Amino acid sequence: MKDYVERCKNYTIITCRKEDVQNLMRFLDAHWAKNHVLSVSRKLMDWQYYNNRWVRYNFLIGVDNTSGEILGVLGYIPTYLYDMAICDSDKHVWLTIWKVRNDVSKTTLGLQLMNAVFLAEGTKNISTVGINQDVEPLYRMMKFETGTLEHYYITNNSMQEFELFSGETPSICQEFTGNVQLRVLDDESSVSAFLEGLDTVNTNYPLKTKAYFINRYMRHPFYKYDLYGLDVSGAPATMLVCRAVSANGASAVRIVDLHGTVSKMSGAYGCFQRLLTQTGSEYMDLYCYGLEENHLTAAGFTRKTVENGVIVPNYYEPFVAGNVDILYAYHMDANRPYHIFKGDGDQDRPNQIAWEE
């Protein structure tokens, strides 16, 4: 829907127009987080939220009918933002910032903003990742499925000392196998060709197309993503979207998205060890929902648990040497195979930008 307007007694909920964005950024600075990256970087705000289809921003704002002040906001990222060809029946919406001013009734305006997303986008397929534990009961009340993303990791078995990872490293013995190869997909044509060769294209949900992966990751204005194709017996099997991070003179590889047949990753441990050695990284990790653990362990991953007592850091801007649980909530209008990764929503976005064009 191009525009959404809902008039209430004391405020009106509208879609964020171009002329509203500066007020929105000031609201985030004052009521969400001082100097939050989206309150200072118009470039990031435009890239992540500007909707070319409807010439507006993907924020719903509640505006006081008397003063015109913003009372609350709800941001979201529809999957068609990265591929306008994704049709209405396949589109999915990721909720991001949900904030109502402290001096306003959060229950009333907050729920009306949420309901407005369903109406403005005309879909029941709405999710969010990275929610606060305090609001999880509210999502359950609204019939969302909730939970915590599983966290998997592989440590570099050629390293004895670690600056980022801590705890006992897992003992995994898997033979290097010649029929599984990991190759760099270093341009848009190689990404397109690899995805065209997959035999499971468009079977996972939310739907992610070739254009989606290219626009979301390869054309990101701040982050550099590395895309890898895993071939099994010479045929494309799984694509991994990774981003290198560093702190304390050490580095790690984060898998932020994954596409293809996860069961075919069995035996890929040797490939991942080569990648860790080549990049000098301490570990690689993956936050996810909807993948079968036995398929990931067959590829050499270990699931992080309280019992194994390791620390696999998540925050790097700034770096925090601690584990982080990432909570999710999703609402679906159909029973489909459903996956969540760290690259969905706004979990993998810059938190610090040194300069602004």
Return the CATH number at 175. Answer: 3.40.630.30
Whether 138 and 94 map to the same domain: the answer is yes
Whether 129 and 42 map to the same domain: the answer is yes
Would 93 be classed as within a structural domain?
yes
Would 40 be classed as within a structural domain?
yes
Whether 125 and 39 map to the same domain: the answer is yes
Half-sphere exposure of 9 (CA within 13 A, CB side): 2
Q: Which of 101, 131, 147 is where one domain is finished?
A: 147
In the structure encoding, which two tokens stand for residue 16, read together? 């964020």
**pLDDT level of residue 201 (50, 70, 90 thresholds):** low
Whether 134 and 267 map to the same domain: the answer is no
What global pTM score does this model have? 0.95
* Mean model confidence pLDDT for the chain: 94
Query: Do residues 72 and 10 make contact, with C-beta atoms less than 8 angstroms apart?
Result: no
Q: Which of 131, 147, 163 is where one domain is finished?
A: 147
Whether 202 and 97 map to the same domain: the answer is no
Would 345 be classed as within a structural domain?
no
* Residue among 311, 327, 315 at smallest CA distance from 352: 315
pLDDT digits (tens, 9 = 90+) for 140-184: 999 999 999 999 999 999 999 999 999 999 887 666 667 999 999
* Residue among 257, 343, 255, 251 at smallest CA distance from 301: 255
Q: Which domain holds residue 163?
A: 150-324
Q: Above 80 in pLDDT, residue 354?
A: no
- Please, what's the b/e burial string for 60-97 (b: 16 or more CB within 10 A of its CB; e: otherwise)? bbbbeeeeeebbbbbbbbbbbbbbeebeeebbbbbbbb
Whether 93 and 225 map to the same domain: the answer is no
**pLDDT level of residue 357 (50, 70, 90 thresholds):** very low
Would 356 be classed as within a structural domain?
no
Helices (H), 41-121: 42-49, 106-121
Q: How many domains does the chain have?
A: 2
